[in-house]
Amino acid sequence: MLIFTVVIFCSVGSCNKEELPASTSIVGKWRWIKSVGGFAGMTLTPQGTGYNQRKEFNADRTFKAFKNDSLTTEGKFSNVRNYKYSSSENIDNAKNRYPHQ
């Protein structure tokens, strides 16, 4: 679940992909536990950063992101099958589509 949550928070670039129907496996409220990796190989947690984050995914393909219970972002999402995550790994992923501001 941790890897899935981290992947959810990442934006997806363009690639060959097949969109999937909204899945009940992602629908619900997800809270951030920790993020690991990046260029510096850091581990970030709510305790270390001083804030909490959560995302809510709805069956109508809308989502909302919160930081310390304040709405920070909302938009639409789609599920993407076989996203090329690295040169040797493909994953199923959720792609966020933010509205233009």
Residue 58's Cβ-side half-sphere holds a number of Cα atoms within 13 Å equal to: 9
Question: Do the beta carbons of residue 67 and residue 80 sit within 8 Å?
Answer: no
Report the pLDDT value the prediction gives residue 93, as an integer from 0 to 100: 65
Report the pLDDT value the prediction gives residue 38, as an integer from 0 to 100: 83
Side chain identity at 22, as an amino acid letter?
Answer: A
Distance between CA atoms of 71 and 50, rounded to whole angstroms?
Answer: 17
When pLDDT is averaged across residues 22-42 and rounded to a whole number, the result is 84
Distance between CA atoms of 20 and 49, rounded to whole angstroms?
Answer: 34
Which residue has better confidence, 26 or 83? 26
Report the pLDDT value the prediction gives residue 33, as an integer from 0 to 100: 96
